Amino acid sequence: MVEAYVHDNNTHVDCRAPHHSGKSVSLERLASLGVFYRHCRSQDEVDAVACARHYSNRDEVTISPASFPSEDAFRDKLAVFYTEHLHEDEEIRYALAGEGYFDLRDATTGDWIRVKLTTGDLLIVPAGIYHRFTVTESNFIRAQRLFKDEPKWQAFNRPEGDARPVHKEYLASLA
Ligand code: KMT
Ligand code: NI
């Protein structure tokens, strides 16, 4: 079962720690934010989700100290991923190995909802939602990133993202 819970917002502790507040979050609450989780036992299952949602592109990424030229480069990348941001396209993330945390901002309550992805976990992140990412204390994840069209890497940090039409549309979809 996927682990999803409210983040404790403790900024004195490294982002890779669990930050469990003690409040767990249901798949229904995730779905109400437009975030969908499922476990896929095979690549075929991932492909079926991607096909049904008209995805046409994907790549693979490894995030660990060993996959960067230096410890500083690794830290810099983590800092970028962990900065609250949004994208203009829906994206799927699928954990091939290792583990990571996706934090999704609940726009209604302001909570950060943390979802732990381990091998075989797939997450659908809607366009326009504020989020951030980190590896866990294991410092390693290999993941597939699936895109609807050409990869749109551009990230709009908060608060610049507030003005993007995609964010307004996302908020309207919650109402
Ligand atoms: C994102 O959109 O923040 C990411 O894709 C993070 C890295 S993917 C494991
Ligand atoms: Ni992102």
Digits of tens for pLDDT over the chain (175 positions)? Answer: 689 999 999 999 999 999 999 999 999 999 999 999 999 999 999 999 999 999 989 999 999 999 999 999 999 999 999 999 999 999 999 999 999 999 999 999 999 999 999 999 999 999 999 999 999 999 999 999 999 888 778 999 999 999 999 999 999 999 8
| Nearest CA, atom 7, ligand 1 | 133
| Residue 92 neighbours by CB distance under 10 Å | 20
CA 26–ligand 2 middle distance (angstroms): 22
CA 12–ligand 2 middle distance (angstroms): 23
Looking at the chain, which runs of residues are DSSP E strands?
A: 3-7, 20-24, 36-39, 57-63, 85-86, 91-105, 112-118, 121-125, 131-135, 141-147, 156-157
pLDDT computed for residue 146 by the predictor: 95
CA 72–ligand 1 middle distance (angstroms): 19
Q: How far apart are CA 34 and CA 141, in angstroms?
A: 24
List Cβ neighbours of 109 (8 Å cut-off, separation of 6 or more): none
Q: Which two tokens stand for residue 70?
A: 């230096």
Q: Give the ligand whose atoms come closest to the C-alpha of residue 121.
A: 1
Q: How far apart are CA 36 and CA 123, in angstroms?
A: 6
Q: Give the ligand whose atoms come closest to the C-alpha of residue 161.
A: 2
b/e for 110-144, b at 16 or more Cβ within 10 A? ebbbbbbbbebbbbbbbbbbbbbbbbbeebbbbbb
* 141 CA: nearest ligand 1 atom: 9
Using DSSP bridges, classify how beta strands 85-86 and 156-157 pair: parallel, antiparallel or unpaired: antiparallel
Q: Give the ligand whose atoms come closest to the C-alpha of residue 134.
A: 1
- ipTM, 2 dp: 0.94
Peptide bond between residue 65 and the one before it cis (omega within 30 degrees of 0): no
CA 81–ligand 1 middle distance (angstroms): 6
Mutate to test the pocket of ligand 1, among 131, 133, 135 (most ligand atoms within 8 A of CB): 133
The answer to whether residues 38 and 118 touch, using CB atoms and an 8 Å cutoff, is: no
CA 58–ligand 2 middle distance (angstroms): 15
* Ligand 1 first shell, C-beta below 6 A: 61, 81, 93, 100, 133, 141, 143, 145
User: For the whole model, what pTM was predicted?
Assistant: 0.96
Using DSSP bridges, classify how beta strands 36-39 and 112-118 pair: parallel, antiparallel or unpaired: unpaired
